Structure 1
């Protein structure tokens, strides 16, 4: 089954930017575009004379108008719309099931340039079965130019980063871009050393050579699968979030893995994804683990 690129749209500036990003990505990949809008019946006084049917018609007309504008900009792009009554999180998570990628607008940005991830965006990222891309208001197609890289964070063993590397290489191939694969490392606490780990480090020649070999091993299968994609392997000591942000100035897209966890006060995404989402100046893709 061919999956569409799906964009969540609510009429805001940031969702319009997300829709524009999704449309361009659909064109590049030769996929259809689906525009999804969630709405709820409003019984407030100013809408007292408009029943559910009338409000449903208004919601659909708003998303249809956005779809018409996309069709005008991208002749030949197949665009479908879905205005569903229900909560935004449930609607978007359900839409992601059948999507190649779900694209959302960020809620805005604060004093530090970057994303301000609202509760809807966070919950969707935690629950979605497919990659979710967050796009800031004001995102411009001019950032998607030759020479600008797809930056992807790699952690753990090769199988741990299979999904995130696949997404990065597929995106780079569609755009004619390079991939910068980033692996950050820190000195482990003394109690983390064991005879077996010390032997691995000795065989590799030390901590940094060990990390370089680990990154090369994870990336190699994707180099072979996408020989046309230039690759830069970047290993640096530091926290993963800080290292990723430091190399993202010329990034078209930042790609990170999802490590969600549930707490007493709700679901939380991992610290790396959280930090990157709040401070990245480019769109960010959060990719769930391979199933």
Structure 2
């Protein structure tokens, strides 16, 4: 049975943008699309409680409005929906377990109708075992395509690059595979970037000195990157791959690379630190500052 692309909706501009992006992604991957609305939760819910009746009616309205927008953009997508009771983060995590990927608005509205607040999206990213894509308001499905010379988007225009931020100290097959597949279904170039830092005086042992120059260390990382990607190039021969190694912290380099990209892919190791599940500093930076949709792929 095919896993669907799942998106959480709450009526906010962010969730609508995410739903439209998810619909186009479902079409690219020949998958169904499933909409989830988390109805505001109370400790002792009752179907006859007037407040719960109103919330469910509002939730149904949100789903119908979203479906209407999707029908105009992607009329052929196979679409289902559901309302679920409970805290939004828990409800979306349960839905994500059944998904090929989960798509959320990166900044939802807080309050009575806006259940996908920023904390909810970040909570899902930090705990989901399936890939999660975060989409901001203003992102539309066609934004993944390059513009023609006259500034207009064309159905024949090539898709914008997929950017993969790859940690060569912990290269993950799940993350690399997701990025290659995303580039394949788009017919887009895949730009793979690794950020490295040279040894500091504090990291060197007694009597050790940094013998290699920065260009020599960069060349070593470049050779390692090429070796890691060789198998994937053979598995995806139709994907054009561009490899880059840069010196410095990964976050700022990836934020810069996201400008003009169609999708940015990063990994998240599934472990619990002293403060519980978390997305990590690089992913946290990208959630707030990336200039394109961000896919966070969990891995062991």
- TM-score normalised to structure 1 length: 0.85
Counterparts of 1:41 and 1:269 in 2: how far apart (Å)?
A: 26
Counterparts of 2:76 and 2:264 in 1: how far apart (Å)?
A: 29
Shift in CA distance, 179/265, structure 1 to aligned 2, threshold 3 Å: same
Number of matched pairs: 276
Does 1:168 pair with 2:179?
yes
Answer with 280-289 or 100-109: which moved more: 100-109
Comparing both structures, which one devotes a greater share of its residues to helix?
1
Q: Please, which runs of 5 or more residues in structure 2 have no aligned partner?
A: 110-116, 146-157
Counterparts of 2:202 and 2:275 in 1: how far apart (Å)?
A: 32
The residue number in structure 1 matching 2:250 is 240
The residue number in structure 1 matching 2:6 is 6
Judge conservation of contact 2:12–2:108 (CA < 8 Å) in 1.
no
**1:51 offset after TM fit, Å?**
4.7
Q: Please, which runs of 5 or more residues in structure 1 have no aligned partner?
A: 110-116
**1:244 offset after TM fit, Å?**
1.3
Q: 1:256 aligns with which of 251, 256, 266?
A: 266
**1:54 offset after TM fit, Å?**
4.8
Does 1:149 pair with 2:161?
yes
Counterparts of 1:24 and 1:147 in 2: how far apart (Å)?
A: 13
CA-to-aligned-CA distance 1:47-103 (integer Å, 9 cap, x gap): x98253453243234213322431343222110001101110000100110111100
Counterparts of 1:140 and 1:36 in 2: how far apart (Å)?
A: 19
**1:6 offset after TM fit, Å?**
0.5
Shift in CA distance, 141/241, structure 1 to aligned 2, threshold 3 Å: same
- CA-atom RMSD, angstroms? 3.0
The residue number in structure 2 matching 1:106 is 106
Task: For residue 172 of structure 2, give the secondary structure of its aligned residue in structure 1.
Answer: helix
Counterparts of 2:137 and 2:68 in 1: how far apart (Å)?
A: 20
The residue number in structure 1 matching 2:219 is 209
Task: For residue 164 of structure 2, give the secondary structure of its aligned residue in structure 1.
Answer: strand
- TM-score normalised to structure 2 length: 0.82
